[in-house]
Amino acid sequence: MNSKFSYSLLFFLLLLAHVAAGVYFNGYSPWWILWCILAYITLLVLASIKIQWNFYFKSLNLLPILKITFEKGQLQLVQNQKQIALTFDDGPAEQTEAVLDILKKENIKATFFLIGKNIQGRETLVQRMFDEGHSIGNHSFNHGFNFDWQSASRMTDELVQTNEAIENITKQEVKLFRPPYGVTNPNLAKAVTNTGLKSIGWSLRSMDTIAKSESELLEKILKQVKARDIILLHDRCAVTAAILPDLIKELKKRNYSFASL
């Protein structure tokens, strides 16, 4: 479990003990106990929805400053000054084929985080992702609204089930995981540890799932993008597939290169 959560819990318990002692011995108002509890609950809720805090467990939210390459028989460190990563959640879905067509045309590798239940009937799309050199990650099996309320054991089962669905097609071990909705908690921390997966967050959330205008979505991403960004997109969204050619064209014009995770 991440030390941030452990240390915060220890600090909270010590603070609560101090306040309770003040109430008992020094006549502090009992309301101080309630305020401490509410403040800590607020912290835990915010930490759950802010994957970038790395509060319950660590996630990769930005591309590393340095990457290791192997050239001419030697390991080399290369700076990622103008590199970004395109990531797509919730597939395989209706727009996945169109997204793959665009990526193939532009010779770009991306990362797809798949929902296990969506794989059945779309196995050829998963195989195509693998064959064309894209990274494939786990995005839970059901992606249900109740996912974050499940026990660590139930979460683990979902992750294992999705890993198996992907690995049965690609014959390659799944190593990456993106939490549904980007929500984290102690139970999910245990499930990630149990499965040995590496959690991937993001630094730029496109909000394409609620976008109504192609031009506004494209403008939003291009206005916010910066070097080392991990961009969150969804290959189930028609608006995403529609703007993808122009997005890639403009990013290339700005001399960005593209990385899969």
H or E segment at 177?
Answer: strand 176-177
Which residue has tokens 């970004």? 84
In this model, does residue 81 exceed pLDDT 80? Answer: no
Interatomic CA distance for residues 111 and 103, integer angstroms: 11
**What digits encode the pLDDT tens for the residues 166-218?**
999 999 999 999 999 999 999 999 999 999 999 999 999 999 999 999 999 99
Range name among 30-34, 83-87, 221-225 with the lowest pLDDT average: 30-34
89 assigned to active site: yes
- Mean pLDDT, the chain, whole residue set: 94
Return the structure tokens found at 194: 């149990």
Interatomic CA distance for residues 90 and 87, integer angstroms: 10
Interatomic CA distance for residues 89 and 111, integer angstroms: 9
**What digits encode the pLDDT tens for the residues 174-187?**
999 999 999 999 99
> Of 134, 139, 143, 234, which is the active-site residue?
234
> Of 89, 90, 208, 235, which is the active-site residue?
89
- Residue of 142, 140, 112 whose CA lies nearest to 125: 112
In this model, does residue 69 exceed pLDDT 70? Answer: no
- Residue of 128, 91, 85, 139 whose CA lies nearest to 109: 85
139 assigned to active site: no
- Residue of 178, 213, 199 whose CA lies nearest to 54: 199
This prediction has a pTM of 0.91
In this model, does residue 108 exceed pLDDT 80? Answer: yes
